[in-house]
Chains A and B, each alone.
Chain A
Amino acid sequence: MKETKGIIFDIKRFAIHDGPGIRTTIFFKGCPLKCWWCANPEGQKTDPEKIISPFQLEENDECVKDIIGEEISSQQVIDEILKDRVFYEESSGGVTFSGGEPLMQPEFLHSLLELSKQESIHTILDTSGYAPQAILEKIVDSVDLFLYDIKLLGNEEHMKYTGVSTELILQNLSFLVEREQNIIIRIPIIPGITDTSENLALIGSYLSELKSISRVDILPYNEMSKAKYTRLEKPYELNNIVPPIDERMNEIKEKLEQFGLQVKIGG
Chain B
Amino acid sequence: MNERVKKLREQSINAKPSLSLERALLLTDFYQSGVIEKVSIPIARALAFKYLLENKEICINDGELIVGERGPEPAATPTYPEICTHSMKDLEILDTRSKISFSVDEETRQLTQEKIIPYWKGRSIRDQIFEKMDKGWIEAYDAGVFTEFMEQRAPGHTVAGRQIFQKGFLDYKKEIVEALNSLDFDKDPEAHSKREQLKAMEIAADAIMILAERYSKKAIELAKNEEDSKRKQELEKIAEICSYVPKNAPRTVWETLQHYWFIHLGVITELNTWDSFNPGRLDQNLYPFFKKDLEEGIISLEEIKELLQCFWIKFNNQPAPPKVGVTAEESNTYTDFCLINLGGVKEDGSDAVNDLSYLILDVIEEMRILQPSSMVQISKKSPDAILKRALKIVRTGFGQPSIFNTDAIIQELLGQGKSIIDARNGGASGCVETGAFGKESYILSGYFNLTKVLEITLYNGKDPRTGNIIGLETGVPSQFNTFDELFESFRLQLNYFIDIKIKGNNIIERLWANLLPSPFMSLLIDDCIENGKDYNDGGARYNTTYIQGVGLGTITDSLSSLKYNIFDNKITSMQELLESMEKNFEENQELWVKLIRETPKYGNDDDYTDELMNRVFNEFYTSVNGRPNTKGGCHRINLLPTTAHVYFGSVIKATPDGRKEFQPLSEGVSPVQGMDIKGPTAVIKSASKIDHLKTGGTLLNQKFTPQFLADDDGISKLLYLIKSYFRLDGHHIQFNVVSADTLRKAQKNPELYRNLIVRVAGYSDYFINLGENLQNEIIERTEHMSM
Contact = CB atoms under 8 A, between A and B. Distances in A.
Interface in B710-766: 713-714, 716-717, 720-721, 723-724, 727-728
A86 B727 contact: yes
B688 to A, nearest CB: 9
Given A16-B717, A22-B720, A83 B679 contact: no
B597 interface: yes
Q: Chain B: interface residue count, which band?
A: 20 to 34
Contact of B681 (A17, A84, A224): A84
B694 to A, nearest CB: 20
Given A84-B685, A86-B728, A14 B723 contact: no
B735 to A, nearest CB: 14
Q: Chain A: interface residue count, which band?
A: 10 to 19
A259 interface: no
Nearest to B597: A55
Contact of A14 (B679, B713, B716, B727): B679
With a 10 A CB-CB cut-off, give which of B597, B679, B784 has the most chain A CB atoms: B679
Contact of B786 (A16, A86, A90, A91): A16
B682 A87 contact: no
A50 interface: no
B786 A87 contact: no
Contacts of A21: 720
A16 B716 CA distance: 10
A89 B727 CA distance: 11
Interface string B769-787: 0000000000000001011
A139 interface: no
A83 B605 contact: yes
Nearest to A17: B786
B685 A83 contact: yes
B399 interface: no
Contacts of A16: 713-714, 717, 786
Contact of B723 (A15, A55, A90): A90
Contacts of B716: 91
Contacts of A87: 681, 684, 720-721, 724
Given A83-B605, A224-B787, A14 B681 contact: yes
Interface string B681-703: 11011000000000000000000
B292 interface: no
A263 B413 CA distance: 50
B155 interface: no
A83 B679 CA distance: 13
B681 A22 contact: yes
A255 interface: no
Interface string B84-120: 0000000000000000000000000000000000000
A12 interface: yes
B532 interface: no
A263 to B, nearest CB: 16
B684 to A, nearest CB: 8
Contacts of B679: 12-14
B783 to A, nearest CB: 13
A152 to B, nearest CB: 26
Interface of B: 597, 605, 678-682, 684-685, 713-714, 716-717, 720-721, 723-724, 727-728, 784, 786-787
24 contacts: A12-B679, A13-B678, A13-B679, A13-B681, A14-B680, A14-B681, A14-B682, A14-B721, A14-B784, A14-B786, A15-B786, A22-B720, A83-B681, A84-B681, A84-B685, A86-B724, A87-B681, A87-B684, A87-B720, A87-B724, A90-B723, A91-B716, A91-B724, A224-B787
Given A22-B724, A83-B685, A87-B684, 5 more contacts: A13-B681, A14-B682, A83-B681, A86-B727, A91-B717
Give 8 closest A-B pairs by Cβ, nearest first: A91-B720, A14-B679, A90-B724, A14-B681, A87-B724, A86-B724, A90-B723, A90-B720
Interface of A: 12-17, 21-22, 55, 83-84, 86-87, 89-91, 93, 224
